[in-house]
Amino acid sequence: MKKIIITGGSSGIGRAIALEMAQDKHQFFLIARNETKLNTVKKEVESLGSVASIGIGDVGNEKDAERLSNEALSLMKKVDVLIANAGVGYFGNLEDASISEFDEQFNTNVRGVFLWLRRILPLMKAQNSGQIIVTSSNLGLRTSARASIYSATKHAVQAMVWSLREELQSELQRSILALLRRHGSMGEM
């Protein structure tokens, strides 16, 4: 039974990953801001024979990340897999974007990944094992009209994970895998 944290676990890709993996009877700690949706996914995961707990909070908020990671460790005692999936996107012309839309996208999509890597990576190094999966987008590899800020966040995430892979290789931490999962269209979110 693997111990799995999924950020953005209340809908979309996070929910789909939880439901697919739940068939193999794992223990999950699902994180999102929407408690109602998160409780629904928790029940779905449990109906498939897995164990699930939830944590409500903002992945891009340092205090929430600390609190939630502590809750997860208290319940699971270790983390085998971190799926950093939480994300938000606003689309439109650059000059029409608000500062709050810019901040929310960077706080969730980039800072959220950073905060969770920073919390979980030392634990995985100490246990000399683990898998990190970060959800990105094809817009992190190439841009598109009306997606400038979202694309910028996904470029940042791509660079962060690519650099992390090199760090792990140079530190001989080859027992920890850092992977990117890119989705191709907004229809898959």
By annotation, the residues acting in catalysis are 150
Q: Are 9 and 15 in contact (CB under 8 A)?
A: yes
Residue 141, amino acid: L
Q: 163-189 burial by CB neighbour count: b if 16+ within 10 A, else e?
A: ebbeebeeeebeebebebebbeeeeee
Find all residues with CB under 8 Å of 188, minimum gap 6, and list them. 13
Q: Are strands 51-56 and 81-84 parallel, antiparallel or unpaired?
A: unpaired
62-67: long-range pairs with CB below 8 Å, 24+? 62/115, 65/112, 65/115, 65/116, 65/119, 66/119
